[in-house]
Every structure is written in C-alpha cells, then in structure tokens.
Amino acid sequence: MTPELDPVIHAQARLRVVVTLNTLKEGDRITFPGLKDLLGMTAGNLSVHLTKLEEAGYVEIVKTHRGRTPVTYVALTRRGRLAFEDYTAAIHRLLNTTMTPPSGDS
C-alpha cells in the first residue's frame, strides 16, 4: 500500500516553508520578512501558503510591535512538527517501497 502524503505539506512552496521552520528550535520563531528572504518568495505568495498552514494548525503567526514598528513572527507548532515527522516517515516508506525489487520471477 502506498503511504498517504499530507496534501497541506506536500505542495512544494509549503514544504519549503515547513522544512525551513523545522530547523528552528521548538519555541523559536522567525520574522515574516526573514522567512520571505530565506525562501526567496514574494510576500503575497508566502502569505497565502502560511494561511493554509495556519488553518491546518501547523504554524502560528503572531503579529505584534517592536517599539512602534509592526512585526509578524512565524513558528512551527507542535502539531506542525508532528505532521512533518509523519510526512517524512511517509516519504521514507514510499522510497523504500519503490526501491525494493518485487519478489518472485526475475
């Protein structure tokens, strides 16, 4: 049976976001512009994908102020980390399935 890949994470742009956020320690966060620059994405594109991830409970977005300047922080939630672990495990199972030669006649 082929493993099911999480469609929320599987989209290329969202996978890049989750992989990047997963490199942060649990509880750490990154500013929206910092994430945008790291990924080389436009603000609009990143915003759309973060919304989808937030709706799934995979990221947390906190809007606050640094002095008088508004700042937006992004972090991977515990649920997001677990979903990414499940996703990577499914990828490994998929690769192991496709790399194992079928048994039987050769």
pLDDT of residue 97: 79
Checking if the pLDDT of 38 tops 90, the result is yes
pLDDT per position as a tens digit, 55-96: 999 999 999 999 999 999 999 999 999 999 999 999 999 888
Element housing 78 (H / E) = helix 78-99
Query: Global pTM?
Result: 0.87
Q: What is the pLDDT of residue 4?
A: 87
> CA–CA separation, 46 vs 66, rounded Å?
22
**What is the structure's pLDDT at 101?**
62
